[in-house]
């Protein structure tokens, strides 16, 4: 760990550091650390074990596994069920009260800091938002954990929210089910458009895999300069955007830039992202126990000058969002122990 990162973690681990009124940063106890690490490792390990079992079974018992499971499962997922292409299949009790998620939230000391406008706006009938969340991190462990916590202050939005997720997640057994139960749907534009027309709110990680691959341990960087699709969605459907910044997620895993150009080329040509990242104890299944604070800003309603073309409106709105997410970061970086960080945004190359 770099000395700069160590200083940041020491600040965030202090028991008396205050973020905003009612939100304290503290070091989880040893039992919380062990329980959280076990919960995260078990969940991801179970997914891996199920898929390894399927692969081994397909090799040794092809008729039973392939004909009896893989073909029916794939047929249902791709052609019959297709919940990820429609309204999803969220399981509210799973999202809020799953014991593994509860342990993992304590492990990361996960907290949500709300702008005062949000609980008030949530009470309005038919309210819609687009939550634009940065950064993605090497692995967005926080997404599935923060989802259930939204109910505390925004219960109306919680029940109407869907999270956009990579299409590949819905092709893998166990990961598909977990994604659907935690309110994920396919991240295609057509799905997003359809859900907004139905009155749903959306949670989007605009940086996506490109931002995931460029995560650097100990540094706060986002991939935003050429991300404008979520801006177009907001403009076309007249839905306000909530800027969201996740302090801590960039430090979940120690990253490596080994063969980065090759991995970026692989991502560009195949859509397959291979981040080299190492979490708690150096293994891949569990993030490091980093204090995590998700800051949700005020709803952003875009303002335009008269006579602008569609492209000019998108560019203007994108600039307004860039200013808003930067202001959100600057407002909270000091109290959260990121006072020495400079804002860094980078372009796709």
Above 50 in pLDDT, residue 21? no
pLDDT digits (tens, 9 = 90+) for 268-320: 888 888 899 999 888 777 899 999 999 999 999 998 988 899 999 999 999 99
pTM, two decimals, is 0.87
Neighbours of 20 (CB within 10 A): 15
- The arithmetic mean of pLDDT across residues 242-247, rounded, is 96
- The arithmetic mean of pLDDT across residues 229-238, rounded, is 96
**Cα–Cα distance between 56 and 22 in angstroms, integer?**
51
Neighbours of 206 (CB within 10 A): 23
pLDDT digits (tens, 9 = 90+) for 52-100: 999 999 999 999 999 999 999 999 998 998 999 999 999 999 999 999 9
Per-residue model confidence (pLDDT) at position 86: 94
**Cα–Cα distance between 297 and 115 in angstroms, integer?**
5
Report the range of poorest mean pLDDT among 30-44, 166-180, 200-214. Answer: 30-44
Edge-to-edge order in the sheet of strand 293-296? 111-114, 293-296, 241-247, 130-134, 201-204, 161-165, 184-186
Cβ atoms of residues 182 and 144 within 8 Å? yes
* Percent of the chain whose predicted confidence (pLDDT) is above 90: 68
């Amino acid at each position: 760990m770099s000395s700069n990162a160590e200083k940041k973690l020491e600040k965030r681990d202090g028991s008396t550091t205050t973020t905003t009124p009612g939100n304290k940063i503290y070091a989880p106890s040893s039992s919380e650390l062990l329980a959280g690490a076990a919960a995260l490792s078990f969940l991801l390990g179970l997914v891996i074990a199920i898929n390894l079992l399927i692969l081994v079974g397909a090799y040794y018992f092809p008729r039973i596994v392939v004909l009896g499971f893989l073909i029916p499962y794939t047929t249902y997922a791709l052609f019959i069920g297709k919940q990820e292409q429609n309204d999803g299949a969220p399981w509210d009790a799973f999202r809020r009260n799953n014991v593994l998620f509860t342990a993992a939230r304590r492990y990361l000391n996960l907290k949500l800091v709300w702008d005062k406008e949000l609980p008030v706006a949530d009470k309005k009938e038919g309210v819609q938002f687009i939550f634009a969340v940065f950064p993605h991190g090497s692995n967005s462990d926080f997404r599935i954990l923060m989802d259930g916590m939204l109910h505390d202050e925004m219960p109306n939005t919680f029940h109407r929210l869907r999270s956009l997720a990579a299409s590949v997640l819905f092709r893998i057994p166990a990961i598909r089910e977990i994604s659907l139960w935690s309110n994920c749907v396919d991240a295609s534009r057509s799905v997003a458009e359809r859900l907004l027309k139905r009155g749903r709110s959306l949670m989007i990680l605009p940086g996506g895999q490109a931002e995931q691959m460029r995560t650097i341990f100990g540094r706060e960087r986002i991939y935003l300069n050429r991300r404008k699709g979520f801006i177009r969605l907001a403009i076309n459907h007249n839905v306000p955007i909530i800027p969201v910044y996740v302090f801590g997620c960039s430090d979940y895993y120690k990253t490596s830039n080994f063969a980065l150009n090759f991995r970026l080329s692989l991502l560009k040509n195949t859509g397959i992202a291979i981040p080299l990242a190492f979490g708690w104890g150096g293994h891949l299944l569990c993030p490091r126990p980093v204090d995590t604070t998700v800051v949700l800003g005020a709803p952003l309603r875009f303002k335009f000058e008269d006579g602008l073309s569609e492209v000019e409106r998108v560019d203007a709105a994108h600039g307004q969002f860039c200013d808003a997410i930067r202001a959100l970061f600057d407002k909270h970086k000091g109290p959260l122990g990121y006072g020495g960080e400079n804002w860094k945004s980078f372009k796709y190359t």
